[in-house]
Copies of this chain bind each other. A is one copy, B any other.
Amino acid sequence: MAETVSMERARTLALPKVKIDDGFWSYYISLVRGTVVPYQWEALNDRVEGAEPSGAVRNFKIAAGLEEGDFYGFVFQDSDVAKWLEAVGYLLAAQPDPDLEAVADGMIDLVAAAQHENGYLNTYFTIRKPGEQWTNLMDCHELYCAGHMIEAGVAYYKATGKRKLLDVVIRFADYIDTVFGNEPGKLRGYDGHQEIELALVKLYETTGDRKYLNLSRFFIDQRGTEPNFLVQEADSRNRVSHWGFTHGKNIDLAYFQAHEPVREQQQAVGHAVRFAYMLSGMIDVAAETGDGELLAACRRLWDNMTERQMYITGGIGSMAQGEAFSFDYDLPNDTVYAETCASIGLVFAAQRMLRLEPDAKYADALERALYNTVVGGMSRDGKHFFYVNPLEVDPKACGGKNKKYDHVKPVRQEWFGCACCPPNVARLLASLGSYVYTAKDDAVYAHLYVGGEAELELGGTAVTLVQQSDYPWSGDVRFEVKPEQAATFKLCLRLPDWSPSASIRVNGTDFSYQTEKGYAVIERTWQQGDTVELALEMPIMRIRSNPLVRGNAGKVALQRGPLVYCLEQADNGADLHLLLLPQEAELKARRAEELLDGIVVIEAEGLRENAKAWGSSLYSTAGRPAAEPERLTFIPYYAWANRGEGEMTVWVREG
């Protein structure tokens, strides 16, 4: 039996308490509010011309008996509606919007109407497979969809105080609790796609009902134990998968992280989104139950993921087959998967570790994923999305030319038949405010540098924290601290891993700070109007990967602040692999207001190998191709593929 230890978690700030007013993020949040969420509502209702239909809303109408027809879409189509509702909840929490709320209320009515008498809720099984509930947990995402609806119910309740959806998911969760568990007659199963684990902890935190925490812990502990539930279940279906194929002798249980008990797992394996969601739920359960053994597994898996299997962009998942992790130091740039949703899952896990132990390494990874893969997953117009986020693209190779790139799209797509990523981006960005700070006892931790105002209780008084900066373009961040009454507490500022040095001034005077796990700690008695100026050095960094990363041997990448940079064809012409960045090249950051809504570009005198002089031979004893000077322009990775189709690369050969 695992030792039980006390683990008090830091609190996140409720969304109404954090107003974002930020040069970088306000654009995206407005985009989510003004474009992404309305656009996705159109998509969910099959009204986006040229995009693949979703069927998601209609499925609820059919399941509720309000329309005739067949289920349409993937078996997990319900989750798109749930994620949309969750995003709406976050938007409403930050800012009232009666029109949007009315639309969401209408959708919630549909969801409630589709719920069965006993609490069950899933349009696929209701329409297509009545009576076959809980017979294919491996493939059919029933508990996954339930988890997303629970998250939506919690978010919408917190935002609006309206209980309708919360009551729906409570009834559903209560019903699930009668179906699954260790007790005789219950299914000792778990979902093929983790998600309900973290959702149930949210429901526990919201309702205070420990039953949901216990159920989450059951799902986590049951996973991967022998006899293996997923194998037994598959056998009972003659190993025929929902997806049409038949499993052979060996079912790929690692894909589902069900190959061994989760506490014993040593490495991040399998489907990356499943893994990251599982890890998030594991951290929640470890923290809420004081489970030191489970926490040790979380730390081990987190470290493996971020120190051995994470792309410099914060992407995870090195292979398309299974959208999955591969193995330590295997980080191919062109055949990569790096699903947007997986990086969002990494953000979820990071935040949960930060609530448990404020260590900047978690926030560093969170920031890396957020500023590169997550925001890069969406176009500047908010209507196009990447599912896969490659670090090297040659459009000539895509579109079936070399089929190993069939999963890689060189431009963002309108809406996916499997549309997990767009609503996931929406719900994350809509709730970004809750990722900026955590507070615990008499300390507030600033994990992210995002401008705006936050209200919280510290040192026995209400405090308003005002943050201002030009981040991520500059490392100068200013805080104004406004306690209602003078109070003593700690302001802990994250010192990012990319900044070689940081100085802090309090009320204009240099402040000599202590560092704790990557946070500068400023402890004093604060007065209304005190100011803190954090100056993070933000040099252009030439990054190399660990020499064991085969695909990056001899290559460098540029990073400045949290932003990873890339070369795009739009700035540098085609055949980017011919470009070299000499070791001694001077790298200059330049503010380019005209470009991509204003970015900082990095320019350098590079070289281009002359392919034309080579002639037509395929192999030759000719010497190294002559390299001629060429000005290289790097743009932030998140901004790529906003200017048509072209090549892109993050890693560049060093001359």
Contacts and interface: CB of A to CB of B under 8 A. Distances in A.
Given A396-B327, A619-B312, A402 B624 contact: no
Interface in A30-67: none
A653 B554 contact: yes
A175 interface: no
B625 A394 contact: no
Nearest to A654: B624
B621 A546 contact: no
Interface residues of A, number: 57
A583 B625 CA distance: 13
A319 B609 contact: no
A542 B624 CA distance: 10
A592 interface: no
Given A326-B397, A326-B401, A327-B401, A618 B578 contact: no
Interface stretch (A302-310, A529-537, A593-601): A302-310
A617 B548 CA distance: 11
Contacts of A624: 544, 583, 654
Nearest to A575: B548
Given A327-B396, A397-B327, A548-B611, A617 B307 contact: yes
Contacts of A609: 547, 553
Interface string A613-655: 0101111111111000000000000000000000000000110
A488 interface: no
Contacts of A319: 402-404
Contact of A335 (B404, B553, B554, B654): B404
Contact of A618 (B308, B324, B332, B621): B308
A393 to B, nearest CB: 11
A577 interface: yes
Contacts of A625: 544, 547
B616 A307 contact: yes
A624 B575 CA distance: 24
Interface in A294-348: 306-308, 310, 312, 318-322, 324, 326-327, 330, 332, 335
Nearest to A653: B554
B402 A618 contact: no
Nearest to A541: B621
Contacts of A517: none
Nearest to A616: B307
Contact of A545 (B406, B548, B610, B619): B619
B326 A402 contact: yes
A310 B618 CA distance: 8
A543 interface: yes
A550 interface: yes
Given A330-B396, A330-B402, 19 more contacts: A307-B618, A312-B619, A319-B404, A327-B396, A327-B402, A330-B401, A335-B335, A541-B621, A544-B624, A545-B618, A546-B611, A546-B619, A547-B610, A547-B611, A547-B625, A548-B575, A553-B577, A583-B624, A624-B654
Interface of A: 306-308, 310, 312, 318-322, 324, 326-327, 330, 332, 335, 394, 396-397, 401-404, 406, 541-550, 553-554, 557, 575, 577-578, 583, 609-611, 614, 616-625, 653-654
29 contacts: A308-B618, A312-B619, A318-B402, A321-B404, A326-B397, A326-B402, A327-B396, A327-B397, A327-B401, A330-B402, A394-B550, A543-B620, A544-B619, A544-B620, A544-B621, A544-B623, A544-B625, A545-B619, A546-B611, A546-B614, A546-B616, A546-B618, A546-B620, A547-B609, A547-B610, A553-B577, A553-B653, A554-B554, A554-B653
Question: Nearest 10 CB-CB pairs, A to B?
Answer: A321-B403, A547-B611, A326-B402, A550-B577, A327-B401, A553-B577, A541-B621, A547-B625, A319-B402, A543-B619
